[in-house]
Amino acid sequence: MKTAILFPGQGAQAVGMGKDLAEAFPVARALFDRASAVLGYDLAAICFDGPIEKLTQSCHAQPAIFVVSMAALAALQQVRQGVQFAAAAGLSSGEWTALHLAGVVGFEDTLKILKVRGEAMQAACVERPGTMMSVIGADPALLAKLAQESGVEQANFNSPEQTVLSGTKAGIDAAEVALKAAGVRKTIRLPVAGAFHSALMASAAQQLEAALADVVLLPPQLPVVSNVTGQFHTTPDEIRRLMVRQVTGSVQWVQDVQRLQAEGIQAFVECGPGKVLSGLVKRIDKQAALYNISDRSSLEAAAPALAS
């Protein structure tokens, strides 16, 4: 089967992530050491011991999830030498992990980008406070109408049944009232610091654009799907533009998975903390073979099934 590798983004963090992989695989531990040297603080300590409040801060969470994802992949590559993937995708900050795997940007530069991205998003949360809400089971046309009327944006198209709204607290409050009045069965407030993937993140996008100006990006050596377009990335210049747009734009995850399906992808390996992406893919492609590698036990369960 043609297999794609998927990488999670911010929100997947959990205290203890990556610890057993680092203890079992020196190649995984080495990535944490390299990252700490670049970032100027002990990333492993924050990942392994927390506290969760510190790990959840965008400036820590985004580099941390990237490194844990790459540590899980490094462990898989050691256990299953020669394992190959036909394409890659990542959700939000996880798209940078996919681009790194594709050879677009180096390990150290990816860390620096995610540090800037995380710090800028944190600052934007303070400058222009907001929140996010997951909506389950709403008619797409109705949801789009009520979101617009409430002054909020559709931030994440996670599955055919689940869309995440983003905006000011007052806007999200208004949207929730309107949706419940319209008979929408379920809304969930998300425990996030701000209104990610909305216009409230404009200052963060500007800072990321400035930071990327001096970073060398190379053509992808592996197909990577864009969150913004739902199509495969092409040139370095286009990647630079789309990754800036991604900060304020909607994450088209349903289109991403459907694009991979169109390429004949039948199996998906989620590499990194959590199982959120596997759950979303299952709702989009019910026939897909799904594997998750987040720790040593899940690695041992998935590795035998992955062809080299």
Question: Residue 52 has which token pair?
Answer: 């969760």
Of the residues 36, 58, 69, 92, which is catalytic?
Answer: 92
Short-list 62, 258, 66, CA closest to 157: 258
Q: If 0-12 CB within 10 Å is exposed, 13-18 middle and 19+ buried, where does residue 61 land?
A: buried
Amino acid letter, 67: V
Of the residues 197, 226, 278, 294, which is catalytic?
Answer: 197
| Enclosing H/E stretch for 135 | strand 131-136
DSSP state of 214: T
Question: Residue 261 has which token pair?
Answer: 């399906």
Question: Residue 99 has which token pair?
Answer: 């681009």
Are the beta carbons of 122 and 129 closer than 8 angstroms?
A: no
Q: Is 233 a catalytic residue?
A: no
Torsions phi, psi of 132, nearest 5? -140, 155
Are the beta carbons of 13 and 53 closer than 8 angstroms?
A: no
Separation of alpha carbons 176 and 195, rounded Å: 15
Short-list 225, 255, 260, 254, CA closest to 239: 225
Q: Is 197 a catalytic residue?
A: yes
**Contacts of residue 198, Cβ cutoff 8 Å, sequence gap at least 6:** 130, 152, 153, 155, 166, 167, 248
Active site (catalytic) residues: 92, 197
